[in-house]
Structure 1
Amino acid sequence: MNVVYFAWVRERIGLPKEKLSTNAKTVMELVEELRAREERYAVAFSDLSALRVALDQELSDFDASLNGVTEVAFFPPMTGG
């Protein structure tokens, strides 16, 4: 599975993207796995209210299933203008 990080999430983790092998069934389980990896991930995922997630480029929720998903993207909320 490809995991992509945008904006300050990328800055805190230090990577724009990575390929992961995971047993996570939901986005939240993936987040928990990432938090447990290293401090930089724990910091990046410390406040989920400040994050959004997209599965295969479609906005989703943290309780969404990862079944069949090939890309997960994490990013801060966007504002328009």
Structure 2
Amino acid sequence: MKTAISIQDEIFEAAEETARELRISRSELYARAVREFLARHSRANVTGRLNRIYGDNAQASTLDAGLAELQSRSLDSEKWK
């Protein structure tokens, strides 16, 4: 699919140089960049990374009782939509 985008000159020049160095077309470079961006920012990927970071330490991480009480009280005053 053809598309048009506007980017800053310095980004364009860096992309052109990178495409030349990799010996790929500009289109291939942009397709790879978008594919990588989508993979990094997909919900499943973010959730998986957070689970890996916090999953093993779930038992070790506890909330201070005083802070838990303050959080609980603040929820009562929140307006939920």
TM range (shorter): under 0.3
Structure number with greater Rg is 2
Q: Which structure shows the bigger proportion of residues in strand conformation?
A: 1
**Structure-1-length-normalised TM-score:** 0.27
**Structure-2-length-normalised TM-score:** 0.27
Pick 1 or 2: higher relative contact order, CA cutoff 8 A, min separation 6. Answer: 1
Q: Which structure shows the bigger proportion of residues in helix conformation?
A: 2
